[in-house]
Amino acid sequence: MSATVFPGGAGIPSDSGALADAIGARRELVRQSARRSLGRRRLVGRIAIGLCVVAVAISLAPLVALVAYTTSRGVKALSWSFLTHIPTPPGIPGGGISSAIVGSLIIIGLAVVMAVPIGTMCALFLVERRGRLAGALRFAADVLTGVPSIALGIFAYAVLVGPGSLIGHFSGLAGSFALAVLMLPIVVRASEAAMRTVPRDLWEAGLALGVRRSRVVRSVVLRGALPGLVTGNLLAVARAVGETAPLLFTVLGSTLLATNPLQPMGALSLTIYSNGTQPYPAAQEIAWGTAFVLLVLVLALSVVARVVSARLNRQAR
């Protein structure tokens, strides 16, 4: 009986029945190998998914514990008078945090006014220009992102608060400057990433039509990058609103309802620090209530950033 040599090297009889049996056996061997391979892939996939679920649970556990514990301790202090009254002397119950709320809003508002325009213009420069200067600015922003906030507080103290400085005393403006420096690298990097999502063809099309570069930037680039810009700025505000170290060196804190940024002011983070370190139960209760208010504010800013970004993206499409 003659035999046909196949690429596999085995001699298979040329008889049609034997050939069909050999082909069927080869197919069955391939199916079994595929089943074993598929089983291994599914097992590895399930293990990987399980590890991912465990990692997510571990990463969420501190956040859930923090929110739950702060809520359980801080919600007891919440009341209308807590949000509208000024603080009382240490050891006397019944105080509020109205001065801290107003001070935080003023300090953060001034910091936003300082950081957002400068950061946006720096990001636009980094997008449009290349070279050593742009690389140096980008590197400086990356380095400034990792600088400890307490170092920025000392810097602001030396520039605006200390003897011979520009202001010469503690003030809300000095705290705003420290927070603006803290926010600046976040705004720069987030704004640059948002602007790079705008297609370069739109830039060139606007310039080819004879439109001024400033109009192209205002009507095309900034409008197209608006979702990313809003998200980055709100996240920078969320980072700055909870900082304490820069304000310890610049604002000092105040129990009065101060609205003049050139004078010492209260802040939520300072209220938490000053009351949380006191031995009086009433002061510690105020500290936990303030921590809960600050936590809700930070979470609200993060949620608003996501919602606004998603809505602006849908409108852009």
- Residue 274 to residue 247: CA distance in whole angstroms: 12
In b/e form, how buried is each residue of 237-276, taking b as 16+ CB within 10 angstroms? Answer: bbbbbebbbbbbbbbbbbbebbeebebbbbbbbbbbbbbe
Residue 49 has pLDDT above 90, yes or no: yes
- In 3-state terms, the chain is what percent helix, strand and coil (to 5)? 75, 5, 25
> Considering the chain, what percentage of its residues have pLDDT values greater than 70?
93
C-alpha 140: how far from chain center: 19
> Which one has a higher pLDDT value, 30 or 99?
99
Question: Tokens 């640059």 belong to which residue?
Answer: 192
pLDDT digits (tens, 9 = 90+) for 178-199: 999 999 999 998 888 888 888 8
pLDDT digits (tens, 9 = 90+) for 109-153: 999 999 999 999 998 888 888 888 888 888 888 888 888 889 999
Quickly list H helices, 129-241: 132-145, 149-156, 172-195, 200-208, 213-216, 222-224, 226-241
- Residue 55 to residue 106: CA distance in whole angstroms: 39
